[in-house]
Amino acid sequence: MKRIAAMILVAAACTPTAAPLKGVLAPDRSLPVLSLPSGHRHIVFKWDYQEGDIAARGDGSVRSAAPDSARLDFFLGGGLGAGAALLIGDSLR
């Protein structure tokens, strides 16, 4: 048993060390600012959705009160339906 332990110790001592990495350090690239300036905004858009045989399109509207509130309204073309989502802080309704 002592011989096996001694052989393992000798084998571990003979393993080569890793060579230092070559090259230069990558520049520190910060993420772009992802926040909107404070204030109210109203954005109107058209949307189009298609998955397999299902297709829908319509108009939409976002009303935001940066930095923590937004309301999304979307309307199905032809006036057949509508929906809304409301974000206040970290709560989505």
Q: Give the tens place of pLDDT for each residue, 13-53.
A: 666 778 888 888 877 777 777 666 778 999 999 999 899 99
| CA atoms of 41 and 38, how far apart (whole Å) | 9
More confident residue, 67 or 60: 60
- The average confidence (pLDDT) of the chain is 82
Q: Is 3 helix (H, G, I), strand (E, B) or coil?
A: helix
pLDDT given at position 15:
67
Q: What are phi and psi of 2, to 5 degrees?
A: -65, -35
Closest CA to 45 of 32, 31, 59: 59
Q: Would you say residue 79 has pLDDT above 70?
A: yes
* CB contact at 8 A, 41 and 66: yes
Q: Which helix (H) or strand (E) holds 91?
A: strand 91-92
What is the token pair recorded at 12? 């571990």
Question: Which letter does DSSP use for residue 77 in this model?
Answer: G
Domain ranges for the chain, please list them. Answer: 36-93
pTM over 0.85: no
Tokens for 19? 């060579």
Binned at pLDDT 50, 70 and 90, residue 58 comes out as: very high
Q: Contact at 8 Å (CB) between 59 and 38?
A: no
